[in-house]
Structure formats: C-alpha cells, structure tokens
Copies of this chain bind each other. A is one copy, B any other.
Amino acid sequence: MSCSCDIRLRLPVAGLCLFVLLGGGTLVPSYGKFTENKAPLSALENQLLAAPSPERARQTLRTLTAKPHLAGTPEDYATALYVRDELAKAGFQTELVEYEVYLPRPKRRRVEMTAPMKYRCSLTEPALPDDPDSSSPLAVPTFAAWSPSGKVEAPVVYANYGLPRDYELLEQLGVSVRGKIVLVRYGECYRGVKAQVAQQRGAAGLLVYSDPKDDGYVQGKTYPDGPWRTDNCVQRGSYRAFTQPPGDPLTPGRPAKKGVPRLSPKEAGLPTIPIQPLSYRDALPILESLRGPAAPKDWVGGLPVAYHIGGGETRVRIALEMDYRLRTIWNVIGTLPGRDFPDEWILLGNHRDAWVYGAVDPSSGTTALLEVARAFGELLKQGWKPRRTIKLCSWDAEEYGLIGSTEWVEDHLAELREKAVCYLNVDSAVSGDNFRAAAVPSLWAITISVLQDTPDASGTRSLYANWRAQDKDAPEVRFGKLGSGSDYTPFLHLVGVACLDMSSTGSYGVYHSTYDSFRWMEKFGDPSFTRHAAMARAWALLAFRLAESSRIALNLLDYAREIECLAQELAREYPQLDSTGLLDAARDLTIAAEAFEAEPETKATLAARNRLRQQFERFWLTPEGLPKRYDARHVVYAPGVFSGYGAEVFSGIRYALARNDAEDTARALAQVIAALKQATQALHGC
C-alpha cells in the first residue's frame, strides 16, 4: 500500500511521511533574506531578529553557570531570582512559584569489586587543570536519582544496554540475572528503562556506565582536548520509570503545594534496587575481570578489554545511602498579557535546574530564554503589546523527572485546557551547530517559515538551510516525533497542547557531568555564542508570529495528512491488523481538514475557527489512558515503553500488538478511531 496523498513525499529514512511545502500556506508575511519570493519581514520582526546579542548571551551563561545549581539548592534559588529579575527588567509580569517535592540526594556511596580482586570505584569526577569550574564542593556527587538506599553484594553480569532483548539473549546463553548485580552501559534508551527492566528481571543491583564507544574516545577527542566524555566523567540522571505518573512522585495528579495529601514513599513506585552510575574508568576493572561467555559482537564497547558476560567470578558490593526529603523548588513565570486575545496563551519554556553547572543542559536554553525576553523587551519599550498572551516559563527540577513543569501544569490544568495555544520548549539550546526540531504536525509549516527567515550562527544562511544541509538526500527537513524527556511532556500528554522542542546540537559527551561547564561551551559548544543568539532569534520569531497572526498559525490539514500517513504505515507494518476502520477514519479526517483549510477566513468565522485550531490537539487525549499504560493518554504520540525518550506512534495499538493482546488491540484501535471521529466532526461543524 503506498501513500495516497499526492503532495507527500515518502522519506527514504525511518517511517515519517512529510510533504513538500509548496510556498503557499505560509500564514504570515516573511521575506526573502534567505528564501526567494517571500514578503518582507515587518519592522517589528526585523527588530526582534536583530535583538539577541552573542556577547550578552555569553555573560548570561557565565552568570547562570557560576555555581552548580541542582534543583532545591540555594544556588538554584539564586538562579530563579536572577531569571525573575531579568524577565521583570524586560517588562514581563513575573511570578516565583514554589512547590514542595520529594527529592533524593546522595549521602554515602560505595561501590567495590570484592572478587576476583579488590577494586574500589572512585565515583568522583576530578578537577581538570584546563577547567577552573571542574571542581566545586557544591557539585552533587555522582549518583542515580531515585535509587533507594541499600547494600548488596553479588556476582556481576554484563547486559549490554539493559534492554529486554539483551536479557532475552542472556537467557538463551543460559545466564540468569536473578540475584545478580547487572552492569549495563548508557545509551539506546532512557536510563529509567534500564532500571525498570533490571528490576523486573530480578536483578539485585544495577551499575550503569558510559562506554567510550557511545560518547567517549571512540567518537573523538575527550574533554578537555575535545568535546567527548573523558575517563572519569559520569552521567548522573533520573532513574524513575516513565510508566509512572510524571512529576513529584508523592502527589500524582495534584500540584505539590504545602499541605496537600501525599503518598507514602513506598506507594510512589520508585525503584527498589540500588543503582549507581559509573565512569568508564571505574567500570574497566570490573569488565576486565568478567569471564563466562564472550559478549556478542554488538555488545562490545570501546574499552580495551575482551567483553565477557560474566561467569560468577566477579563480585561487587554496592552500598548507598540516600537523603530523601521534601524540598522546595522554584518555577519562574513571566507573562505579557495579550492585548486582543488574553485567553490565548503562547507558552515558551525551559528548565533551569542542572545536575551540576549544566552549561549546555539547560543553561544554554535559559540563556536563550532571557535573550527572547530581552528581545520582546525592546519591542515593549516602543509600545508594542502582543495580540495573544505570551508566557515565558523557567522550570525547576526537570532533571529529577519534569517535576517543576508537571506540578505547574497540574496546578493550572483547567486553565491550560481552556487557554493554551501551543508550548514551545527549548531544553539544551546549544551543544553544537546542527539545528533540530521535533513538533506535532500542526506546527510544522509555521516553524519552517520562521526558520527560513532566521539567520543561523554563520549569518550566511537560514536555520532552515542549516537543518536542510544535514541531509541533502532527503526531500525535506524531518521533524522529530515528541516522546518524552523534557518539559513539553506534561503539556502534550496532560493538557493536549501543540508542542515543539528545538535545539542546536553537536558533539557533546559531557552530558549530566561536572564538565558540562562554561569552559566546555567556550571551547566546543559555541565559542562565539552566535548559536545561542540564533536559537533565541528563532524562538522569539516563532512566538511572535504565533502571538500576532490573526489566524492561529496551527495547520490542521498537515496534522490530518500526517495521521493518515502514519495509519497507512501501521497497516503496512501489521498486515494482520484489521485497519480498515482506522484508515477510513484517518481518510475522513483528511477530507474534513482539507475542507476546513480551503474555506476562506472571514471575520464572522475567525473566532470559532481559531478556537478549533487551539483545541485541536486536545482531541488526541483519551480520558481513560491507553490500555495498560498509566503514563500515556495521547493516542497518536506517546513515549515508547522500552525507549522512554523516543516517541512511538499509535503506542496503544502497538503495545497491545506486542503483547498479542487482542482485546487491548481492539480497545486501542477504538480509542484512536473515536478520537479521529471527534476531530472530524468538529472540523465539519466549524
């Protein structure tokens, strides 16, 4: 079965159907600095693009990364005040919003190999002479967030990336992990999946290390000689399962305000086995000592050892003590109320908390957010006010599991359902020069049009050209699909808001380590800070056009066409599935969306049509959740059960098919079809 839509081109890679944007359908004037035959930018747009300053961005990043600022620490609070004050200076109404959430920090950590020889893991990231920030008593020691306190000593089994398929292979080799300490490497999936699967398989403990093949010397020179992960560098991170409700684990579905009822920690579904992340320097002696079967070819990493699975000879003791308690976190919300449509909200967000300094993750994004604020501030000085409300959000405790954003969304759920038009997320804004974006299809056209008008860091081409140049053989740029892993998650999955996430990426091996520092950014990520400025420009212009255009710039036909294409892919992939109903419903949606988009916009209909545009994403949330999934209610895009960050399309249907559950398959199909029919009906009724 081939794609029936004439103007779609099937991309040669992955499963995504895109269509060539034919120049028409751009909803706001844009001019031809980089693309031909476009209308000129307005004076305000030109001003907005000119505003972001690389030098100011450098100073902002230096300020934000002066100290480690882990969620819930005084240094985190200081950054919240700084962001609030900068937003206020630019002319925003600001709020500092506190929540009290349950957060762990490490107290004592000890990992040692006890057989066949003694080796005590250092578990520390040493100071590097080239990087003045690489040593600080404020840096949180390397640890796995949400690991319980606990002690265990057991034989070690190496299990590659720790995915279900890895354990299946171990079973075929006759190797059980029950009661063992499983050693896996980072990569291929969200780390929380590794913990969940290890625990389900009966492991007694989990060690997760960064293999140099994945982000170390196999990729290139290591820090401080190059941007990649060096021998002692450790990836911290959250190990909470995405299949648990997001946000504060003790207040699922409720904002974590003072005095609200809380679960006991035992009810919160946190990991039950001790977990510790390791550098490859600490993992090396353990891997070297492993005997038993040789690791399969694709399990072999880049360390100078013969990778083996372990034959019982290597024993490790893990002893962890965690300090779990309620801690205060601080979101900052800056608002420019809309002059015409105050109840249509254009939300921009970025988290502010970092595992240590987080120069890339997230401070480059916070820097871009402040440049966006300052750019709007220059317009405000001239008397401009946005037609729709613009909100800039600085989230806390994202690293622990999207906590600040989720609590705020839970706090304002009804209002957001009513008012949110879109949520534009930037997490790590800059780790290199390659522009990327993921978004729901209704945002594709407006985003491309904005990127075509925005100079990239070189100043010689647009961000669109930058993105396009990364895969010249593809017929168009390819938007990623939104799974999870940053603060768009509660907006997409709890509210049903059209979301986008973008970044400028590159060789980045210091993720979640102390070495994600200002020095790293100066040397590798963005020496001239022009990439920060470019990201701020695109973000500001996208928000501006979404806030200013009389017609809300969400393209429903693009969404319908993409859904039809995705349905056809699903049908091809699962020929056994009776997909007639789904395909028919998707076809009907496209026909309805074609009629909707073909209709001329009139003053009489604009309000109702904009209302439908604003609410369209809400149709994809099914109230009862996907079958057997407590984390996902979006029938089109959901985080994959075994990828976590990666999105899965029609996840309810796929997950039921993977479990051979005919009843759930039928339920999931019915959910999707019902959602499509509701949306179709709404389009017809408009």
Residues of chain A having any CB pair with chain B under 8 Å? 212, 217-222, 226, 228, 294, 300, 302-306, 308
Task: Collect the chain B residues with CB atoms within 8 Å of residue A222's CB.
Answer: 306
19 pairs from A and B in contact (CB 8 Å cutoff): A212-B304, A217-B304, A217-B305, A217-B306, A218-B300, A218-B306, A219-B306, A220-B294, A220-B306, A221-B294, A221-B306, A221-B308, A222-B306, A226-B306, A228-B306, A302-B302, A302-B304, A303-B304, A304-B304
Query: Complex: how many Å from CA A306 to CA B216?
Result: 8
Task: Collect the chain B residues with CB atoms within 8 Å of residue A294's CB.
Answer: 220-221
When C-beta atoms are compared, the residue in chain B nearest to A300 turns out to be B218
CB distance from A97 to the nearest CB of B (A): 44
Task: Collect the chain B residues with CB atoms within 8 Å of residue A219's CB.
Answer: 306
- Copies of this protein in the assembly total 2
Query: Complex: how many Å from CA A105 to CA B486?
Result: 65
Query: Complex: how many Å from CA A226 to CA B226?
Result: 34
17 extra interchain contacts, Cβ-Cβ under 8 A, other than A217-B304, A221-B294?
Answer: A212-B304, A217-B305, A217-B306, A218-B300, A218-B306, A219-B306, A220-B294, A220-B306, A221-B306, A221-B308, A222-B306, A226-B306, A228-B306, A302-B302, A302-B304, A303-B304, A304-B304
Task: Collect the chain B residues with CB atoms within 8 Å of residue A303's CB.
Answer: 304
Query: Complex: how many Å from CA A305 to CA B306?
Result: 16
When C-beta atoms are compared, the residue in chain B nearest to A294 turns out to be B220
Task: Collect the chain B residues with CB atoms within 8 Å of residue A218's CB.
Answer: 300, 306
Query: Complex: how many Å from CA A218 to CA B295?
Result: 10
Query: Complex: how many Å from CA A294 to CA B217?
Result: 11
Query: Complex: how many Å from CA A339 to CA B226?
Result: 75
Query: Complex: how many Å from CA A302 to CA B212?
Result: 11
Task: Collect the chain B residues with CB atoms within 8 Å of residue A226's CB.
Answer: 306
Query: Complex: how many Å from CA A300 to CA B302?
Result: 10
When C-beta atoms are compared, the residue in chain B nearest to A280 turns out to be B304
When C-beta atoms are compared, the residue in chain B nearest to A217 turns out to be B306
CB distance from A354 to the nearest CB of B (A): 26
Task: Collect the chain B residues with CB atoms within 8 Å of residue A306's CB.
Answer: 217-222, 226, 228
Query: Complex: how many Å from CA A212 to CA B305?
Result: 9
Task: Collect the chain B residues with CB atoms within 8 Å of residue A221's CB.
Answer: 294, 306, 308
Query: Complex: how many Å from CA A304 to CA B304?
Result: 6
CB distance from A149 to the nearest CB of B (A): 34
Task: Collect the chain B residues with CB atoms within 8 Å of residue A220's CB.
Answer: 294, 306
CB distance from A580 to the nearest CB of B (A): 41
Query: Complex: how many Å from CA A305 to CA B219?
Result: 9
When C-beta atoms are compared, the residue in chain B nearest to A226 turns out to be B306
When C-beta atoms are compared, the residue in chain B nearest to A295 turns out to be B220
Query: Complex: how many Å from CA A305 to CA B212?
Result: 9
